[in-house]
Structure 1
Amino acid sequence: MRNPREAMAWLVTGTGLLILALSAGLFVLTLVFPGGESPDAGGMLGGIAILAFLLLALPLLILGGVLFAFCERDTEAD
């Protein structure tokens, strides 16, 4: 790592990608197994997966991209 800001950008982006993968997997599971005995359970899990993506993964990925942009700007200034 060249600087701490780049390390933070990788950490934030990696966390966002991990949450994205987990929420996508949960969403696919709700499509494959729609809820068993309780049909509302599948819809609720799908909603949780969508909210996890919108409220956690998407902001982290955007923040990671902004941090990477600042890293590139810092290396161009050097």
Structure 2
Amino acid sequence: MCEGSGERWVYFLLAPGAVAAYDWPLGVQRHSGGTRTVTYIGIPALEGNTWPLRWYSVPTATAPHVCAAVRVT
């Protein structure tokens, strides 16, 4: 999903625990359940006007997360 204003962040929803299994490129910020405090990320509704947030690819029942193994390195 992405944010259409401000910094124009792009977010990828990964399955729980998937973030720790990989080394990520410089500049990638991971929001996970590690030792950090709580992190909040806005999640747009699947339908309707949720500007400035929107989905690039809507999750489905069979594919609710992005595959962490397919990443840019």
| TM-score, structure 1 normalization | 0.21
Higher strand share: 2
Q: Rg larger in 1 or in 2?
A: 1
| TM-score, structure 2 normalization | 0.21
